[in-house]
Amino acid sequence: MKPSLTLTLVFVTILSACARGNSTPTTPSSNPLFVRLTFVPQPAVTNKATTFTASITPASSLARAILDFGDGTLADLSPLSPVNSATWEHVYTRAGDFTAKFSVRSAAGETASGYAIVFVR
């Protein structure tokens, strides 16, 4: 099944720690780019849609946006207009533990990655 893509604009910036998500800015800046990746349901279910949400702070035009679902499936979402949040669905076809990673590069050249450990039953 081909992954579907839905983009949602959010006008409120939200950034908080999450046990299943993480952000790593990889370039120095006075206003660094952060990404937080979450998903539902938890745990994910084999052959059912899992919804991923990436929160991006600050809102940025992204020259490069790649979502690696951890099961060998990549979604190249480049480029993206200024967004604070984006949502995608993916179907895992086998049970296991997967590391999903959302990597971005802003139009200004800043990079960041967010990840989530996905438990699929």
- The whole-angstrom separation of Cα 73 and Cα 100 is 10
Q: What number of other Cβ atoms are within 10 A of residue 50's Cβ?
A: 22
Q: Which fold has domain 4-11+18-28+37-111?
A: Immunoglobulin-like (2.60.40)
The full set of domain ranges for the chain reads: 4-11+18-28+37-111
User: According to the model, what pLDDT value does residue 107 have?
Assistant: 83
User: According to the model, what pLDDT value does residue 113 have?
Assistant: 94
- The whole-angstrom separation of Cα 39 and Cα 116 is 8
The reply to whether the predicted model has a pTM over 0.75 is no
Residues of the chain with pLDDT under 50: 1-20, 27
Question: Which value, to the nearest 10 degrees, does the dihedral of the CA atoms of residues 79, 37, 14, 25 take?
Answer: -70
